[in-house]
């Protein structure tokens, strides 16, 4: 059984905009999926449907055998979503308090909360910032804090919306390293980005969105041939042999 099963979902905003059209997708445990597509193609709306922030107008989403519609609370626990805009996700005054906030909502015991915060700070290289005011963090540190908050909640799936946006070069490398280590430790990851060059080397699958629909869902070396037509930048779009393994900014 798939960890996540999306069955024919569509999503329509009250103003009539059809943001998703008949999307179906299955994700197995431990997969690393990259989703790409031009601005406005429906990527963010899709992630918001996955964790129950939005409810599909039709179709259904099953996570771990449970329907999101029947149990949106469970869905929010199962799919941890890292927003594109870190500032809108940070709610705690300090770094530690921010991570604690999500755990308190899940009613995690105090002792367990402390352990999880320590581990999240360590994994995201934020130990030295534990008591710093969250709003005084740099852009890269804020991004790592939002990932820390989500990872600490131990979701089945971690979904990240454009996690490289507004980061400088070292910031991108740090987030990439975190993604690679999350993958290595067996996490299931859905990553939305238009920067395939940074991360595609680590993807098991590339899914391309166009106008609210999925137009490609395949191994990266196959799906990449459809990327340019979906408004996603690829080097030498006409080339037959894209070297997917070189599509990373990490050189180890």
Ligand X SMILES: Nc1ncnc2c1ncn2[C@@H]1O[C@H](COP(=O)(O)OP(=O)(O)O)[C@@H](O)[C@H]1O
Q: Locate 146 and state its tokens.
A: 């939002």
Continuous segment of H or E residues that includes residue 179: helix 169-184
Task: Report the nearest approach of Mg ion to the CB of residue 151 (Å).
Answer: 21
Task: Report the nearest approach of ligand X to the CB of residue 197 (Å).
Answer: 19
Q: Which C-beta is closer to ligand X: that of 213 or that of 222?
A: 213
Residue 39 interacting entry, from Mg ion, ligand X, none, C-beta within 5 to 8 Å by type: ligand X
Q: Which residue has the tokens 């402390």?
A: 114
CA distance 7 to 9: 6
44 forms part of the interface with Mg ion (CB under 5 A): yes
Task: Report the nearest approach of ligand X to the CB of residue 45 (Å).
Answer: 4
Residues ≥6 apart with Cβ < 8 Å to 229: none
- Assign residue 35 a region (left: φ > 0; alpha: ψ between -120 and 50; beta: otherwise): beta
Task: Report the nearest approach of ligand X to the CB of residue 161 (Å).
Answer: 7
Task: Report the nearest approach of Mg ion to the CB of residue 32 (Å).
Answer: 19
Task: Report the nearest approach of Mg ion to the CB of residue 44 (Å).
Answer: 3
123 forms part of the interface with Mg ion (CB under 5 A): no
Q: Which C-beta is closer to ligand X: that of 46 or that of 148?
A: 46
Residue 45 interacting entry, from Mg ion, ligand X, none, C-beta within 5 to 8 Å by type: ligand X
Q: Which C-beta is closer to ligand X: that of 42 or that of 171?
A: 42
Residue nearest to ligand X (CB): 44
139: buried, middle or exposed (CB in 10 Å: 19+, 13-18, 0-12)?
Answer: middle
Backbone angles phi, psi at 15, to 5 degrees: -80, 5
User: Percent helix, strand, coil in the chain (nearest 5)?
Assistant: 40, 25, 35
Stretch that binds Mg ion, among 37-45, 47-55, 198-206, 229-237 (CB under 5 A): 37-45
Dihedral of CA atoms 144, 148, 154, 160 in degrees, nearest 10, equals -20
41 forms part of the interface with Mg ion (CB under 5 A): no
Q: Is 27 helix (H, G, I), strand (E, B) or coil?
A: strand
Number of residues near Mg ion (by CB under 5 A): 2
Residue 49 interacting entry, from ligand X, Mg ion, none, C-beta within 5 to 8 Å by type: none
36 forms part of the interface with Mg ion (CB under 5 A): no
Residues forming the site for Mg ion (CB under 5 A): 43-44
């Amino acid at each position: 059984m798939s960890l996540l099963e999306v069955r024919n979902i569509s999503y329509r905003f009250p103003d009539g905009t059809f943001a998703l059209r008949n999307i179906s997708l299955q994700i197995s445990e431990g997969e690393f999926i990259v989703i790409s597509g031009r601005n406005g193609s429906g990527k963010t709306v899709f992630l918001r449907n996955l964790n129950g922030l939005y409810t599909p107008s039709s179709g259904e989403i099953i996570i771990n055998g449970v329907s999101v519609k029947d149990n949106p609370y469970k869905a929010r626990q199962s799919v941890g979503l890292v927003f594109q805009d870190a500032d809108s996700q940070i709610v705690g005054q300090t770094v530690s308090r921010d991570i604690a906030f999500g755990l308190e909502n899940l009613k995690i015991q105090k002792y367990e909360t402390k352990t999880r915060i320590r581990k999240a700070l360590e994994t995201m290289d934020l130990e030295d910032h534990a008591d710093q005011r969250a709003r005084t963090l740099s852009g890269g540190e804020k991004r790592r804090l939002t990932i820390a908050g989500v990872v600490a909640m131990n979701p089945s799936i971690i979904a990240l919306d454009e996690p490289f946006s507004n980061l400088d070069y070292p910031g991108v490398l740090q987030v990439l390293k975190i993604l690679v280590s999350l993958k290595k430790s067996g996490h299931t990851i859905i990553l939305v980005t238009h920067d395939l060059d940074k991360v595609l080397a680590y993807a098991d699958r590339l899914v391309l969105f166009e106008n609210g629909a999925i137009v490609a869902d395949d191994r990266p070396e196959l799906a990449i041939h459809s990327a340019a037509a979906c408004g996603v930048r690829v080097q030498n779009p006409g080339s037959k042999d894209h070297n997917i393994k070189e599509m990373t900014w990490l050189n180890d």
